[in-house]
Structure 1
Amino acid sequence: MGMDDDRGDRRAELAGSHARVTARIEAACAAAGRPAADVRLVAVTKTYPAADVLHLAALGVTDVGENRDQDAAPKAAEVRAAGADLRWHFVGQLQRNKVKSVVRYADVVQSVDSVRLARALADAAGRLRERPLDVLVQVSIDGDPARGGALTGPGADPEVALDRIAAAVAEAPALRLGGVMAVAPVGWQPEAAFERLAEVAAGLRAAYPAATAVSAGMSADLEAAVRYGATHVRIGSALLGKRPGLR
């Protein structure tokens, strides 16, 4: 089998998985009484090559997610050089020493979970970008500080308190507060996790009406996320197949 055949097989594989995921999102929206246009698919392409991103772009995917800067930066450059204009979401834990790199290609950082990180992003975005960087605050559903995510409620450390992080983002001219992101904790029913996130998101919108984004739900639990108001679902394996091991 030649290289062109290999590419054709991969294109066909991705077309089939994209159709199945799109159908799931549409069915979940219908069950929740929401328009399908309310939910945006973010294709999480970590560990997969730029060629797959370009195949997905040809299928109509407009948003891609990455979680490791060392992989994402060259991939974004390669995709851009090939002429695809996509919206790049950084969805992984972000170290402050990677901020200057990430703000050059990311349109959205979904994983802001400390005041220090928000301020580092604001500083770098102000110097290195022409347009504001969209930011989602990553929320800890179960309150476990070891897992990361902003904390809610009285007594939260101010450095990682949701209201303090949101204020730091909202006050920064180079940032735009888009909403919240979360992952359902292991051991939690997705419905319980996303119901809790919906409550947090509603509280944030009350203070910041433009912060309407709710990034929740992955391949295994997107239906529950859509039921509880997700506006973005982050889909990896259901689109791209079983993930190769992280390098």
Structure 2
Amino acid sequence: MTSLEHGNGQMNEAAGDARAAELAHKLGLVRQRIESAAAAAGRTEQPRLIVVTKFHPAADVRRLAALGVEDVGENRDQEAASKSAELSGLDVRWHFIGQLQSNKAKSVAKYAASVQSVDRPQLVEALAKAVVREQDATGRSDLQCFIQVNLDDDAGAHRGGANPADVEVLAEKIEMAEGLVLSGLMAVAPLGADPHPAFERLAKISETLRAVHPAATGISAGMSQDLEAAVKFGATHLRIGSDILGSRPAVR
């Protein structure tokens, strides 16, 4: 190895160590926020943390796994499929959290432990078909499905999801589908609004759902800016990205 190659190797290693230390620090701060929010809400059990790694490299997912992160989220199939393939031996669960086209179901079924953005019957059908095919080929487990609920009253500010009135129809369809498990609900708070009323509404929708489907206890809600409100109203899963990984890396 030349001195130049050795020097570059040391620089890369130092940069990697610096990034790992940065992630450890930010992850620790978020975990403290979650712990404090749970205590303030009188909760003895903390929500599961899903670190949203979109736009960040597979190397960061590997660093996060070394720091004890077990769940990572992605919202674009092309990126998620690539990362999960590159990190196939890594012990993490992949959660698909973005709006999903039905023609991507076959790809998502290869790596996702859950899809948290189920919002229409056609997607349920596509996922069920893809998961059963994948189970026949690889023996994968059933796919955890969260129904994404639209909490926006302003049609122009729609951030995705099914109307609350359609939740039960989707729930029944998931329950009847081979290869799928109804896990609960997912939602995003309306942009620029107080998240408390939205998450309170989501909690009530969840209560109604559980009255018919008792096992559907999951509530995936809360991101970097509103995790405390989500914890207050019973979130079981938090989707945190920028407060741990920082802003999107510059495109080169």
Alignment counterpart, residue 146 of structure 2, candidates 100, 116, 136: 136
Matched residue, 1:59: 67
Paired position in structure 2 for 1:14:
23
The question of whether the paired residues in 1 share the 8 Å contact of 2:103 and 2:126 is answered with no
CA spacing shift, 1:124–1:38, aligned 2, 3 Å: same
Whether the 8 Å contact between 1:47 and 1:246 is mirrored in structure 2 is no
1:122 lines up with 2:128 in the alignment: yes
Larger Cα-atom Rg: 2
Alignment of 1:182 with 2:203, yes or no, is no
Aligned residue pairs: how many? 237
- Deviating beyond 2 angstroms after TM superposition, the runs of 4 or more aligned structure 1 residues are 142-148, 244-247
* Percent identity over paired residues: 54
TM-score by length of 1: 0.92
Q: How far off is 1:246 after superposition?
A: 8.2
Equivalent residue of 1:21, what SS? helix
Partner of 2:95: 89
CA distance in 1, matches of 2:210, 2:43: 19
* Cα displacement string for residues 149-195 of structure 1 (whole angstroms, at most 9, x for unaligned residues): 11123xxxxxxx11111111010121000000000011321101100
CA distance in 2, matches of 1:246, 1:201: 40
How big is the shift at 1:77? 1.2
Structure 1 residues 245, 221: closer, same or farther in 2, change over 3 A?
farther
How far apart are the structure 1 equivalents of 2:173 and 2:105?
16
Aligned with residue 219 of structure 1, among 214, 220, 224: 224
Aligned residue among 162, 173, 186 for 1:150: 162
Gaps of 5+ in 2: 1-9
Contact kept? 2:159, 2:188, Cα under 8 Å: no
Where in structure 1 are there 5+ consecutive unaligned residues?
154-160
- The answer to whether 1:170 aligns with 2:175 is yes
